[in-house]
Structure 1
């Protein structure tokens, strides 16, 4: 069976994170710049090889001051670590449209294995004849595992920021047509 490459369509995809603030509410942020792809055997995503690169400087929480704080040494250190990367080690069907996505996530130069859940949303052709698939990827990571440890205490001694970060990525992938793949092999 031939390998097929599926490229992330950034215009129809999003990568978000959620963190508890003062343990009473949730702050949502996103990364506006990212790229990635999946390589499959034919159109079957079981055992797909998945890679994602996030431009950390593109963090957006809707508050410019908070975004700048996230970019500095207290959090992401974007000048030293400009990218987060993810590379899958397995993508297995659990049941129905649910998959378990396991892979190596690198944040601030630290690589840890993470397990995420991916829900297949379907396959469609867009108005221009491109084949697209959709997945919603969710999971939780502990930010301390990646040396993102900044925190403050509230008046009552509680933590201002939660340590568990929820990840939510809605990803649309576009099938790279065989003619394009053949041209790349010739170059």
Structure 2
């Protein structure tokens, strides 16, 4: 077991073809709109023996927002929401990783949206590790966190006749991560 655990230590890169960095929110108070960012770069530096020394970083390209509606996506890129021309990236940099129990972590860090930085804590579940058919050591993680978009300057809205609003202030961030262990050309883990 110790040998396997040592295999977990080191750098893991997010696999963009098997990772979803998404969100959901209420629309018109009655349904959910889901979306994702298709262009991002992320890494985990894992310390299997001392998880509190692990770190996570994520950089998202705002222009890659995809809610399956081109008009809505374009509106989300404007100054009403993300203001992609002036704030092209969303970043998350961890400052602490707490292990709650076996396979359950809280990743604490600073998220920056529209130039506003706030500390958040994201509960993450470790799903497991497998070697894929291409020989990559692959780990899975899932988690979510609700934030208030107004805290980051995303204030646009429209009132509804019922007294509600078109877009909820509460946004659920959704992380489904497949990360590949960085290994040398001989296929042995680096770290």
**Length-normalised TM-score, structure 1:** 0.91
Of 149, 152, 163, the match for 2:155: 149
Q: 2:189: which partner in 1? A: none
Of 46, 53, 68, the match for 2:51: 46
Q: For the residues of structure 2 that align with 1:128 and 1:62, how far apart are their CA atoms?
A: 31
The number of residues matched between the two structures is 181
Deviations 1:115-159, CA, capped at 9 Å, x for gaps? 111011100001122111100021111101100011110012211
Of 13, 16, 31, the match for 2:19: 13
Q: For the residues of structure 1 that align with 2:49 and 2:77, how far apart are their CA atoms?
A: 38
User: Shift of the alpha carbon at 1:96?
Assistant: 2.7
1:68 aligned onto 2:68: no
Q: 1:128: which partner in 2? A: 134
Ranges in structure 1 where 5+ consecutive residues have no aligned partner:
181-187
Q: For the residues of structure 1 that align with 2:90 and 2:130, how far apart are their CA atoms?
A: 30
Q: For the residues of structure 1 that align with 2:107 and 2:74, how far apart are their CA atoms?
A: 31
Task: Write out aligned runs for 1:32-181 (5 A).
Answer: 32-41=38-47, 43-44=48-49, 46-47=51-52, 48-178=54-184
**Length-normalised TM-score, structure 2:** 0.89
Q: For the residues of structure 2 that align with 1:63 and 1:172, how far apart are their CA atoms?
A: 26
Q: Structure 1 residue runs of 4+, over 4 Å off?
A: none
Deviations 1:56-80, CA, capped at 9 Å, x for gaps? 0000000000000000010000000
Q: For the residues of structure 1 that align with 2:21 and 2:167, how far apart are their CA atoms?
A: 20
